[in-house]
Chain A
Amino acid sequence: MKRIAHLIAGTTIILGIAHVSPAAAVGEMPDKQTCASAKSGIIAGGCIATDREKGNCMACHSFTGIERTRLQAGNIGPPLVAVKARYPSQKRLREQVVDASQFNPHTVMPLFGKYRILTDNEIDLIVQWLYSL
């Protein structure tokens, strides 16, 4: 399973998140310890988004905070910036994460909700995090 998960990530990123304080500023990537205890809020969302076996969002998107980690961002999707300004409602943003094929039938963005890659709760947290970017 471990080995497969490794393959699945499809990337050779070295996992190792730079240390930042638990009271990390918005958009910052918290460390592993912080992630282990974060159960809610923006930080927990950021943890799920950057977990290679969960959101793995950095495989395709860059976003603020990533430059302070050793994760390498891909460029298949657009940079995730000024999200709040562009998405007046969190509902539409959530739909993008749940099922991106609603908006682009040929999308390569994984259908995180529809194919149950993430749970409803995990998606809620990711949306909170997205809104902080």
Chain B
Amino acid sequence: MHKWLKAVVLLGVLTGLQLPAQAGPAEDLRAFQDYFRKKFPDIPFDEFSNGVYALPQAKDAREQWQQVMRMPPYEIALEKGKEFWDQNSLGSCFKNGGRNIAQHYPYWDKRTHMVRTIELDINECLRRKGKDPIEDLKQGTMAQVAAYMKSLSRGQRIKIDISDPDALEAYDEGRRFYWAKRGQLNFSCADCHVTYVGKQLGGDILGPGLGHTVGFPVYRAEWGGLGTLHRRYATCNLQVRAAPFVPQSRQYRNLEFYETYLQQGLPLAAPSQRR
């Protein structure tokens, strides 16, 4: 398997780049959101927070999803996240005790000169308290705690600040990642979540890029629990036979920065459930 993955990394990366003309984040944002508004004029803006279930193509799946969400399968995990949060008094590390701040994540941090995510700040908080950081950044405790922290900001509208010139570099790396073809199967994120949104790839409906990130962490039966956004990124990379990056790697943090900026104005709806 490793030999196979290695061969794959060399392929496809950065070929056939279909980046829209560079005009700056404000322009990117308008073009991106307008594309989805025009393509789906009957979907109210806030509805996009429900991911693929916002689409008319997913009408049947949506009914099932609404059933599931009446007794969400992540309840126990969320409860565990709250226990961990309280036991370690994580609230003391965050503004406002951690309430109504998740809409500003991820953010560009001047001091550490990097994009910081909720997962990184949770571990930083543990470190400051002399405790061991959480190692698994894809699932388990981290997904539970991040889900709990995000739930404290449910409904808050995404507001990402990229006014710092250095933040633009990170944003731009994320942007290139999103539009670059990669993997042996040669797909960009945008191929599936912008260009072919609503189409069917075998039995899966391709969900809209507008709405990405705001429901995470999500519960998936296939995962048997909650997973973080970077776990989903790895899944999407593997689907096209591209080598995934490590969760919380610079590449994935910058991708999250770019993707989340494009959600500006959408209400947070985490945690959620997805197929």
* A18-46 interface code vs B (CB 8 A; 1 in, 0 out): 00000000000000000000000000000
If the complex has contacts A7-B235, A117-B185, are A108 and B202 also in contact, measured as CB distance less than 8 A? no
Residue of A nearest to B234 (CB): A7
Residue of B nearest to A110 (CB): B185
Contact check, A74 vs B199: say whether CB atoms are below 8 A apart: yes
If the complex has contacts A4-B238, A106-B16, A108-B187, are A12 and B204 also in contact, measured as CB distance less than 8 A? yes
Residue in A1, A4, A10, A107 whose beta carbon sits within 8 Å of that of B202 in the complex: A10
Residues from chain A with a CB closer than 8 A to the CB of B18 are 106
**Bound Cα distance A71, B202 (Å):** 8
Residues from chain B with a CB closer than 8 A to the CB of A13 are 202-203
Q: Decide yes or no whether B134 CB sits under 8 A from chain A.
A: no
Residue in B184, B187, B202, B275 whose beta carbon sits within 8 Å of that of A58 in the complex: B202
Chain A, 47-103, CB within 8 A of any chain B CB: 56, 58-60, 71-76, 101
**Bound Cα distance A7, B237 (Å):** 10
Residues from chain A with a CB closer than 8 A to the CB of B235 are 7
Residues from chain A with a CB closer than 8 A to the CB of B191 are 108
In the complex, the number of residue pairs spanning A and B with C-beta atoms less than 8 Å apart equals: 76
* B215-257 interface code vs A (CB 8 A; 1 in, 0 out): 0000000100000000000010011110000000000000000
Contact check, A75 vs B200: say whether CB atoms are below 8 A apart: yes
**Bound Cα distance A60, B11 (Å):** 21
Contact check, A73 vs B199: say whether CB atoms are below 8 A apart: no
Nearest CB of chain B from residue A60's CB, rounded to whole Å: 7
Contact check, A115 vs B186: say whether CB atoms are below 8 A apart: yes
Q: Decide yes or no whether B1 CB sits under 8 A from chain A.
A: yes
Chain B, 186-216, CB within 8 A of any chain A CB: 186-187, 191-192, 195-196, 199-204
| A–B pairs, 17, beta carbons within 8 Å | A9-B202, A10-B201, A10-B239, A12-B222, A12-B275, A56-B202, A71-B202, A72-B202, A73-B202, A74-B200, A101-B15, A108-B191, A110-B184, A110-B186, A111-B186, A117-B184, A117-B185
**A9-B239, A12-B222, A105-B16 provided; 12 other pairs, C-beta below 8 A?**
A4-B238, A7-B239, A10-B204, A12-B204, A59-B202, A71-B202, A73-B200, A74-B204, A75-B199, A106-B18, A108-B191, A117-B184
